[in-house]
A and B are shown apart, each in its own frame.
Chain A
Amino acid sequence: MEIKVLFTILISTIFINNYVLSQMLGLCPFLGVSKKTDSAIGMGLAVIFVMTLASFFTFIIYKYVLVPYEIVYLRTVSFILIIASLVQLVEMIIEKVSPALYQSLGIFLPLITTNCAVLGVAVLNINSGFVTADFGLIKSVIQGFGAGVGFTLALLLMSGIRERLELADIPKNLQGLPVTFLTAGLLALAFLGFSGMKI
């Protein structure tokens, strides 16, 4: 039974409530890093990592620090602090492991800190009532992981399309970002097909 719930959470965050295409969170890196498929994969993996860990740590901090000491109003501040330190960690790892990827991600890597999708996952984990639920920690980690995978999926689809559009005969004043917004809209329209899905 529990496995089925986890599966439902995973599918739901990847497809049905995709953080980028149906909840419109994290649009900044979605539009910023989707120019090349390679950097999109790197960014996606980084976001999966950050989201999963962020869900884990924010959940623990919330349940065992914020709630017992009745300082729940510090939620946003403390979550951002956790996310920022995680991003710092990821940044150091990527810089050591793959300098090329580090270069191509550029400013968007530290910007994961302010990626509203990451904070969104952390807050939604709390709002979904996982704190009081059984196996809440596992559920929130799965939700974080699924959100990251969904983000990566959207990013990958977008980068593939954008690489193809580079050769297209797009009207001059639509080239670059404007046509990307148009594509994002059509992509979101396609993802409507998942809406209302019941598993």
Chain B
Amino acid sequence: MATQTEKSLLTLSNAPHVRSDESISKIMWMVVAALLPASFYSVYIFGLKALMLLVTSVFAAIAAEAAYQLLMKKEVRVSDGSAVITGLLIAMNVPPGAPVWMVTIGSFFAIIFVKQLFGGLGFNVFNPALAARAFMIASWPVHMTTGWHKFNEGNVLIKDLSNFSGLPQHLFDTLTQATPLTALKEGPKSLAEFKVGADQFYNFIFSSDKIKSLFIGNVGGVIGETSAALLLIGAIYLLVKKVITWHIPATYIGTVGILAFIYYLITGVPSVQYAVLFHLVSGGLFLGAFFMATDMVTSPITYKGMMIFGAGCGILTFVIRIWGGYPEGVSYSILLMNAATPLIDRFIKPAVFGKPDKKK
């Protein structure tokens, strides 16, 4: 038996040896498909302006890519779908009230400056969509931090979350106006204003109702991040299809969870388990961990490297969320780890095939 396997290993056939129908465009279109449920849902809750942003952004990205490749006399390869993903993710990363021109410029920036000038698909150092988000926050901070969707009752959380904690109406409105993470960040400031105890505030922020609506997506936020459940469905599809592996999302989300648990245990919040869940399902963590951190071009090659990458993203995200100047740190943490990816790949090398094991 042993000699047989040896023989089959040594026999050469004509290349390619392993055939697969996997291709860049197939993978890219699968990612687009995985993003669609969350996109459709955002159109459902935020209305037509979300649809307009999504469509404009995708078309701007496609146009920028095609125009660049035409002008540089390269092969036009917009049909591989990578520009569509970038455009889709950019729109999913802006508030629903963002102006259309902004996502257009953002898409141009992502495609031209972050991707094509570095050599196009496969060579970009940073995730184009996230770099565009950072660029838009730096350039138009007002448009990127206001323009949250106003639900009918003036609160982001409709019906299923009532003011059960007995908070003053003004405080309730302030806390529920913007995104959940903004409320967490700005909340303590409002506490002093309305003379509300910290316990009451945390009871409200970390309640099971709040977690429920966060999971379903009944909250404010950027277009694509609201519904953790639908993002999870897309992510499971990608995991099953083996487009992404579990390493980055699991270490990323796990690190955030562990850090949140330790932090809130030390600060002594009444319901630690809800606080941890709050950090996991709020903001763009699922969107970032499953769809942006796993970008094959800008993340490490080896599994070990991926786990370092994920843990680094998790630590940075949590640090920025708690101590940083921004309510949400997902985009910056992934960008920073993108920058560290070449170094991770340099120092974590896969075992060379055929090299004897040192331990023996």
Tell me the complex Cα distance, A193–B338, Å. Answer: 13
Interfacial chain A residues near B135, Cβ < 8 Å: 189
Interface: A191 (CB within 8 A): yes
Most buried by A among B113, B118, B119, B326: B118
Interfacial chain B residues near A165, Cβ < 8 Å: 118-119, 123, 125
Interface: A84 (CB within 8 A): no
Q: How many A-B residue pairs have CB under 8 A?
A: 95
Interface: A194 (CB within 8 A): yes
Main secondary structure of the interface of B (DSSP, over half): helix
Interface: A66 (CB within 8 A): no
With A163-B346, A190-B335 given, name 15 new contacts (CB 8 A).
Answer: A37-B343, A157-B339, A157-B340, A161-B125, A165-B123, A170-B119, A179-B118, A186-B126, A189-B134, A190-B338, A192-B138, A193-B331, A193-B335, A193-B336, A197-B325
Q: Which of A172-199 contact B (CB under 8 A)?
A: 174, 179, 182-183, 186-187, 189-199
Interfacial chain B residues near A168, Cβ < 8 Å: 118-119, 123
Contact call B125/A193, Cβ cutoff below 8 A: no
Contact call B323/A170, Cβ cutoff below 8 A: no
5 A-B pairs whose Cβ atoms sit less than 8 Å apart in the complex: A171-B72, A182-B113, A186-B131, A193-B324, A197-B320
Interface: A147 (CB within 8 A): no
Interface: A120 (CB within 8 A): no
Contact call A193/B123, Cβ cutoff below 8 A: no
Contact call B325/A164, Cβ cutoff below 8 A: no
Tell me the complex Cα distance, A192–B331, Å. Answer: 11
Top-10 shortest CB links A-B:
A196-B325, A193-B332, A160-B342, A168-B119, A190-B335, A168-B123, A169-B119, A160-B343, A164-B342, A189-B134
Tell me the complex Cα distance, A187–B338, Å. Answer: 10
Contact call B340/A160, Cβ cutoff below 8 A: yes
Contact call A161/B342, Cβ cutoff below 8 A: yes
Interface: A14 (CB within 8 A): no
Interfacial chain B residues near A37, Cβ < 8 Å: 343, 346
Tell me the complex Cα distance, A186–B120, Å. Answer: 16
Chain A contact-residue range equals 20 to 34
Give A199's nearest chain B residue, CB to CB: B323
Interface: A156 (CB within 8 A): yes
Question: What's the least CB distance linking B110 to chain A, in Å?
Answer: 11
Contact call B131/A193, Cβ cutoff below 8 A: no
Tell me the complex Cα distance, A100–B333, Å. Answer: 36
Contact call B126/A193, Cβ cutoff below 8 A: no
Question: What's the least CB distance linking B64 to chain A, in Å?
Answer: 15
Tell me the complex Cα distance, A198–B332, Å. Answer: 16
Which residues of B are interface residues toward A (Cβ below 8 A)? 72, 113-114, 117-120, 123, 125-126, 131, 134-135, 137-138, 316, 319-320, 323-326, 329, 331-333, 335-336, 338-343, 346
With A161-B339, A190-B339: A195-B325 Cβ-Cβ less than 8 Å: yes
Most buried by B among A169, A183, A189, A198: A189
Most buried by A among B119, B131, B339: B339
Interfacial chain B residues near A194, Cβ < 8 Å: 320, 324, 332
Interfacial chain B residues near A171, Cβ < 8 Å: 72, 117
Give B343's nearest chain A residue, CB to CB: A160
With A37-B343, A157-B339, A186-B131: A193-B326 Cβ-Cβ less than 8 Å: yes
Question: What's the least CB distance linking B327 to chain A, in Å?
Answer: 11
Tell me the complex Cα distance, A190–B72, Å. Answer: 28
With A193-B326, A196-B326, A198-B323: A187-B117 Cβ-Cβ less than 8 Å: no
Question: What's the least CB distance linking B185 to chain A, in Å?
Answer: 11
Give B68's nearest chain A residue, CB to CB: A171
* Residue from B134, B326, B346 in contact with A160 in the complex, judged by beta carbons closer than 8 Å: B346
Question: What's the least CB distance linking A35 to chain B, in Å?
Answer: 13
Interfacial chain A residues near B120, Cβ < 8 Å: 169
Contact call B134/A164, Cβ cutoff below 8 A: no
Interfacial chain A residues near B138, Cβ < 8 Å: 189, 192
Tell me the complex Cα distance, A17–B118, Å. Answer: 27
Tell me the complex Cα distance, A164–B323, Å. Answer: 33
Tell me the complex Cα distance, A1–B346, Å. Answer: 39
Question: What's the least CB distance linking A191 to chain B, in Å?
Answer: 7
Tell me the complex Cα distance, A157–B125, Å. Answer: 11
Contact call A186/B114, Cβ cutoff below 8 A: yes
Q: Which of A42-99 contact B (CB under 8 A)?
A: none
Interfacial chain B residues near A161, Cβ < 8 Å: 125, 339, 342
Interfacial chain B residues near A164, Cβ < 8 Å: 125, 342
